[in-house]
Structure 1
Amino acid sequence: MFGVGHFRSREDAGHQLCDHMPDIDPLSTVVVALPRGGVPVGAVIAERFRLPLDVLLIRKIGVPGHRELALGAVSDGEKQEITVNEDVAAALRLDSDDIRELAERELPELERRRQLFMRGRPPIPLNGKTVVLADDGVATGATMRSAIRIVRQRQPEHIILALPVAPRSTLAMLRPDVDEVVCLLQPEPFISVGSYFSDFGQVDNLEVVDLLRRCNRNNDNGGKGAA
């Protein structure tokens, strides 16, 4: 028996999220996950409800010397966008030029992941769709804020934010930007995302590629839902 308030794995978290999801129309819903850790979570949701799965190409901008502390995030949407954790930037006395320089260091990895994950295909259209935006959890919310903005650019009808765990304070910041939130654990004080999982091993790129292929093999109709 795993600890109270914990998940066995990302897959277990995905199954638990499925049990709390609102009614979903498979013909008008797309799951969009944040790589890499959000993809196993999103894949479970996609397979349970027979939905297509896509990824957003976003990289956390880590604080130099403390990569796990998010200074912000850089996205690879139609218009490249940098989202900044203003409190962290102010504490470290980093100006916009400093932040942009750190963001540019992440661009080669974003391009590498584009080639690996997308394999030349365009993103699944989100216009007029319900989007289930999934990750394995959030801490400061800097990366997720950027993700929500990218998804909004693609003009969905409805956004459901699906998370296993997040601090209440972060959810309060994100909630106005989405239409619904499904979050299973909202601890305060918050430790770290990984501390709420028994198994939080790194997700490798090949696993992401395999999950995308597996979830979408029956969804070759341009993201209109499962056959």
Structure 2
Amino acid sequence: MAVRAVMMSGSVTSGPPEFRDRREAGRRLATALVPLIPTHPVVLALPRGGVPVAFEVARRLHAPLGLLFARKIGMPGAEEFGLGAIAAEGDGNAEPVLDETLMQKVGITRTALASVIKQQREEIARQQAAYDGATPPIMGRVVVVVDDGIATGGTMRAALRVVRHRGAARVVLAVPVAPPETVADLAVECDDLVCLVRPPDFRAVGIHYADFQQVEDNEVRQILAQARTTI
């Protein structure tokens, strides 16, 4: 059963935050993904914030949980201005996905980004070593990629392309919240897309959660250990 573009609209200016915390968002997201259960999917989380959300999805879908590492590649000196992203699945090599058109527009070359790419590749390697979570094989599988929300989508685009490159039979993007324009941009990178809330006046992921505390490395390790014993 297809689950493409399952969405509920929302606004950041009316009422309380849509989600109590990441676990609650994950449970609501999992409900929308129930039609995938017969496909025996694999669930991949973007650490760190996506891990609590993905755990609830994996538990409801009776699916193995793994990690998908992705980092933004920002402009040197203005790191918040994204020019691409770098991602790796499991313990694989991290490969960059760059916005060549935007790079030409701002006058940045691949050579100028070499140090930024190296730094983000090293951070991915650190996370891969720190979390001790073997990622299940995804070749020929339905893969659900989960994060706690998306803003511009650059990092997620790189993540989805890695999953596709590694041979997933079907790629499903599932997030609690993202702006409408980002949802539209990422729809071409996946086979199905589930976004619960897409506020037209989107400002930041965190304001859609009552509790959006940073997820620490220890919590990621604990969740992965719990997944191995309970799912």
TM over 0.5: yes
Q: Distance in 2 between matches of 1:86 and 1:19?
A: 38
2:112 is aligned to 98
1:197 equivalent to 2:209? Answer: yes
> Taking structure 1 as the reference length, what is the TM-score of the superposition?
0.85
Match for 1:71: what amino acid?
Answer: L
In 1, Cα distance between equivalents of 2:50 and 2:203: 19
Is this contact kept in 1: 2:17–2:210, CA < 8 A? no
Structure-2 separation of matches of 1:89 and 1:197: 33
Amino acid at match of 2:147: D
SS in structure 2 opposite 1:3?
Answer: coil
How far the C-alpha of 1:195 sits from its partner, in A, is 1.8
Aligned residues: 216
Give the match's secondary structure for 2:60. helix
Deviation, 1:103, is: 1.3
SS in structure 1 of the partner of residue 35 of structure 2: coil
SS of the equivalent of 1:94 reads coil
After TM superposition, give the deviation of residue 69 of structure 1 in Å.
4.2
Q: Which segments of 5 or more consecutive residues in structure 2 lack a partner in the other structure?
A: 1-13
Pick the aligned partner of 1:50 from 44, 49, 62.
62
Q: TM-score, normalised by structure 2?
A: 0.83
Distance of 1:52 and 1:19 partners within structure 2: 17
Q: Distance in 2 between matches of 1:80 and 1:153?
A: 12
Does structure 1 residue 9 correspond to structure 2 residue 21?
A: yes
Residue 17 of structure 1, CA deviation: 0.7
The 1:106/1:71 distance shift into structure 2, 3 A limit, reads same
Mark the runs of 5 or more structure 1 residues left unpaired by the alignment: 219-225
Q: Are positions 1:37 and 2:80 aligned together?
A: no
CA contact (8 A) 1:26 1:50 kept: no
Matches within 5 A, 1:1-227: 3-4=15-16, 6-25=18-37, 28-64=40-76, 66-77=78-89, 78-85=92-99, 89=103, 92-118=106-132, 121=134, 123-218=135-230
User: What secondary structure sits across from 1:128 in the alignment?
Assistant: coil
Identity within the alignment, %: 37
Structure 1's 206 and 68: CA in aligned 2 closer, same or farther, altered over 3 A?
A: farther
**RMSD of aligned residue pairs (Cα, Å):** 2.3
Q: Does the aligned pair in 2 maintain the 1:75–1:146 contact within 8 Å?
A: yes
Residue 10 of structure 2 corresponds to none
CA deviation digits over 1:127-177, x for unaligned, max 9? 221111100111111111111111112212211110111111111111122
